[in-house]
Amino acid sequence: MSTQLSRRAFLGASLALAGSIALPRFALAQQPPARTLIAERRVIDVLGRPANVFGIRAGNGGQGLFLPAGERFLVDLENRIGAQTIIHWHGQVPDPAQDGVSDTGYVSPLADGEIRGFDFPARTGTHWMHSHHGLQEQSMLAAPLVVYTAEDEAADMQDETVLLHDFSFRRPDDILAELTGGQVGGHDMANMSGGEMSMGGGMMMGSMDHGMMSMDLNDVVYDAFLANDRTLDDPQIIRTETNGRVRLRLINGATSSAFWINLGDAEATVLAVDGNDAEPISGNRFPMTPAQRLDLLIDMKGRSVVPVLAQVEGLADRTGIIIAVNGAEIPKISRIAEQTEVPIDLSLEEKLVARHPLTAMPADRTIQTMIMGAMAPYAWNLDNAPWPNRRPLSVVEGERVTLEIMNHSMMAHPMHLHGHHFQVTSLNGRSLNGAMRDTVLVPPMATVGVSFDADNPGRWLFHCHNLYHMATGMMTELVYG
């Protein structure tokens, strides 16, 4: 039972009062019905074995939410996982109480069986939703969240969405306990699970020589990598017409794994990143750090099959889907590539230009924040102040803010700011009129500058989107003063 006043109760009360306050009937009649999302447990097949995982099911039975153009984010979220949870609407910019986090103190997690309503203007683009409670995201409590534009709906192309994930048969809290030796900030890991399923994996203290530096890669050894719940042993086949065009919305929902997206000898055009339109860039190979999204236009003209592969940096492991025209024979593709991949980099970031950038103006405030930590002992933080003993980043409403993120570690970090989208404005001190994003890669010993307008007052999390880095302290908050 919800502890908050539900939308249905509110509307019922409004209807009861309508006679006395003369509410216009059409205002209620035009309110669309709330869509339902259910956080639940499910079983999928991974490498021929049943895997108990989580999911976020829509009313139509599919995973995730796909909103038509012009519709509000009007959702009732029901928790059926058997434990507390809370779902973050990654890429959306609601008021802070509807952001889907409990760390900032606005709301508590949803109790098992609770239904909670959300109602705010939906931000268009390719986004996603995931748990922001404990380590549940590792157990696949995540799903796509796509909001279409009128142009999307009118476009002469097929629209497909793919969620990437890293999977292990071991429990996420066991993985973190191995990484940390059982301690996170002096706290025992026994109560960190937050209702995780039986999963798996192990610790990898890996490194790779890259240029003149030796960087750390891939904290965790995973059993498989998934694209829409499937491995390349049995990949999803997206069928299309001869000479068809496909808008492929890729979401890196992996907990701690970065991928190179590889189309082989086919080419694609980048249309958007993190739900924000970009000036078109053509290529066949694109880096994606955790939590980022990449919209690609793939033209099948003259082609019968285009494999879209996602290979993990530093490894030979890969996943992916296959786009094929109707009737085309499907090739068998191994989930282990012939060669290992190099670390992902800023090669795409350097080329991206926002189609709708920030208005040109100088920053009112520049904030520097330092990424700190190491693989051994396994502990990560910002500004030598691990969460919850964070150093808040203070801004004032109406300011143009530049955030300089300096990485003083030997591992790359995907940095995500809640409640805002920022423009990438510098890479290692070089000015850039870059992409609009909500998550940016900061390579080892590098500095990335991002700018945003402080136009959404409240307290907002800023953290690394490697779940195990965040769990060991790499999180702070942006606070409006």
Please tell me the distance from the alpha carbon of residue 41 to that of residue 54, in angstroms, as a whole number: 4
Q: What is the pLDDT of residue 240?
A: 98
What is the predicted pLDDT for the residue at 131? Answer: 98
CA torsion 234→235→237→238, rounded to 10°? Answer: 160
Residue 166, φ and ψ in degrees, nearest 5: -105, 135
Q: What is the pTM of this model?
A: 0.90
d(CA 311, CA 320): 8
Nearest in space to 179 (alpha carbons), one of 216, 214, 204, 206: 204
The pLDDT of residue 426 is: 98
**Residue 18 dihedral angles phi and psi, to the nearest 5°:** -60, -40
Assign domain 365-480 one CATH number from 3.40.50.300, 3.30.470.10, 2.70.98.90, 2.60.40.420.
2.60.40.420
Q: Look-up: residue for tokens 């509110």?
A: 10
Every domain of the chain with CATH number 2.60.40.420 lies at 7-148, 365-480
Per-residue confidence (pLDDT) for residue 214, from 0 to 100: 73
Residues 222 and 227: their CA atoms lie apart, in Å, by: 14
What was the pLDDT predicted at 215?
82
Dump pLDDT digits (tens) for 179-217.
999 765 433 333 344 454 443 334 444 555 544 457 889
Cis, peptide link before residue 388, omega less than 30° from 0: yes
Q: Strands across the sheet with 87-90, in order?
A: 65-67, 142-147, 125-131, 87-90
Enumerate residue ranges in the chain where pLDDT < 70: 1-31, 183-213
The answer to whether the CB of 248 falls within 8 A of the CB of 298 is yes
| pLDDT (0 to 100) of residue 2 | 34
Its CATH architecture, for the domain 7-148, is Sandwich (2.60)
Closest to 169 in 3D by CA, of 221, 239, 233, 97: 221
> Could you report the per-residue pLDDT of 39-97, keeping only the tens digit for each?
999 999 999 999 999 999 998 899 999 999 999 999 999 999 999 999 999 999 999 99
Angle at 416 between CA 438 and CA 92, to 5 degrees: 50
